Structure 1
Amino acid sequence: MNNSEVTYLFDPLCGWCYGATRMLGRLSAAGVRVELLPTGLFSGAGARPMDEGFAAHAWANDQRIERLTGQSFTPAYRHNVLNVRGTLLDSHAATLGITAAGLEDPSRRFAALKTIQHARYVEGRDVVTIGGVAEVLAADGMADAAEMLKAPTETLLAAHRDQVGRGRALFQRLHADGVPSLAVIRNDAPRLIGSNALFGSFDNLVAHIAAA
C-alpha cells in the first residue's frame, strides 16, 4: 500500500465521519497518504439549529454507527450536545481549526480532526464556537493553532476557503451522495470509493483502493 494516495471528503460534525476515523487511521498506518478535504456540509447555509427532532434523528444514527464501528457516543455527548437547545450544528469553527492546525504541516489535520471528534462525541464539549474549538486544540498540544483560530490571518482564511472550495468541487465532480466519501485520483481522474467500504473490513477497503 506504500505510495498509495486517497482523498477523504468529510465534515468534522458528521457522525458517520467520526465512525470512519479508525479506518482512516489504519490506512495511514499502512502507508497510505490520506488528504483531508472538508466539504462544509454543516457550515454556512448548511448550519442548522439543534432542535428536538434533529437531536433524536442524530442519536438514532449515532447508535447505529457505534454498533457498526465501535466508536463511542457517550451520555455526556447526548446530554451536553444533543440535548442543549438554542445551539447550532455549525462546523465552521471546527473546520477552520483543522485548517489552522495543518497550515504549516498538513499531516496535523488528521490529529486535529480526531481531537475535535473526541471532544464532541466522547467528552461532550463545545466544538461549534471559535472559543470552544480553540480550547480543545490548546488542551491537546496545538496551542499555536488555537491562537491562530482566535485571530485568523488572511493566510489562514484563504487556505480555509481553498480547502472547502476544493472539497465541494470534488464532491460535485464525483456525484457523491454524502460524507464521508473517499476518492482515488490518478491522472487527474478521480474515482469514488463507496462509503460502505469505510465500514466493512480493512482488507476490502484496501482492495477497493487498489482497484480504483
Structure 2
Amino acid sequence: MSTSVTYLFDPLCGWCYGASPLVQKLGQHSGINLTLAPTGLFADGGRRMDAAFAEFAWSNDQRIAQLTGQRFTEAYRQNVLGRHGSSFDSAAMTLALTAVSLTEPQRERDVLKALQEARYVEGLDTGSVQVVGGLLRSLCLDAAADRLAAADADLMERHAARLGQARRLMRTLGAQGVPALVVHRASGDRLLGGQTLYGDVDSLIGQIVAG
C-alpha cells in the first residue's frame, strides 16, 4: 500500500526549486502517492523587483545552488533579477498548475519543473500569463493554456479551493514556510520540514515511512 504525501510549495520559491530533484524522485517512487499543493505564498502580493531585493535573492540563490547543485544562470540574473520594476508574483505559474491538474494531472509535476527551469535557467519572465501560457503550449498542453488564458469561473473556483486547502494544512500543522511535506496516515498528519528535501531520496523515504 502506498503512503499519501502532500508537497507544499510555491513555484517562485527558490528553496522549492532547490528541492525539485528530490521531489521528482519522490513522485516516481512506487510506494509514494505524491500530491502537489501550491500555497500561493508569493501570489498577488504586489512586490516589485528592485536592486536591493535582487541582491538579496541572488545571495540566497547561491546558497541554494551550493546545497543542492541546482542551476541559477546569468540569464536569470540579468533578465529576471535585473529587470527592476517587474513583479515578483507566482500567480500565473500557480494558476497554470491548477489548469494542468484539471486537464492532464499526471503531468503536473513535470510542468512545475519546467516552470522553475524557465525562470532560473532560461531567465524567462514566469510572472507573465503570456509567457507561462506559451510554455504550456510548448509542452503540448493546449487545453491547460486555453484555460489559463480564459481564467474561467470553474478554474478560478477550483484554484481558490486548492490554495485554501494547502493553507489550512500549513496552519493546522504549524508549517512556517515552504517547501514542506505532509505525510498522511490513519493516525493523523505529520509535517516534514524543508530541510528533509535537500538530502538523498532513501533517507527521505525512511523518514516518510517511519512512525
Give the direction of change, closer, same or farther, for the CA distance of 1:143–1:105 in structure 2 (3 Å limit). Answer: closer
- For structure 1, the residue ranges without an aligned partner over 5 or more in a row are none
SS of 2:35 mapped into structure 1: strand
Shift, 1:105, TM fit: 3.4
SS of 1:49 mapped into structure 2: coil
1:125 maps to 124
Give the direction of change, closer, same or farther, for the CA distance of 1:37–1:47 in structure 2 (3 Å limit). Answer: farther
1:81 is matched by which residue type in structure 2? V
Name the count of aligned residue pairs. Answer: 210
Structure-2-length-normalised TM-score: 0.95
2:145 maps to 146
1:16-165 counterparts in 2 under 5 A?
16-31=15-30, 32-44=32-44, 46-165=45-164
Cα shift readout 1:176-204 (whole Å, capped 9, x = no counterpart): 11100111011372110121110112222
Whether the 8 Å contact between 1:50 and 1:89 is mirrored in structure 2 is: yes
The alignment yields a C-alpha RMSD, in angstroms, of: 1.4
2:192 maps to 193
1:12 maps to 11
1:208 maps to 207
Give the direction of change, closer, same or farther, for the CA distance of 1:133–1:169 in structure 2 (3 Å limit). Answer: same
1:25 is matched by which residue type in structure 2? Q
2:33 is matched by which residue type in structure 1? R
Q: Distance in 2 between matches of 1:172 and 1:197?
A: 20
Q: Distance in 1 between matches of 2:155 and 2:139?
A: 20
Q: Report the identity percentage.
A: 46
1:37 is matched by which residue type in structure 2? A
Whether the 8 Å contact between 2:103 and 2:143 is mirrored in structure 1 is: no
Q: Distance in 2 between matches of 1:29 and 1:48?
A: 35
Shift, 1:7, TM fit: 0.4
- For structure 2, the residue ranges without an aligned partner over 5 or more in a row are none
Q: Distance in 2 between matches of 1:29 and 1:113?
A: 15
SS of 1:178 mapped into structure 2: coil
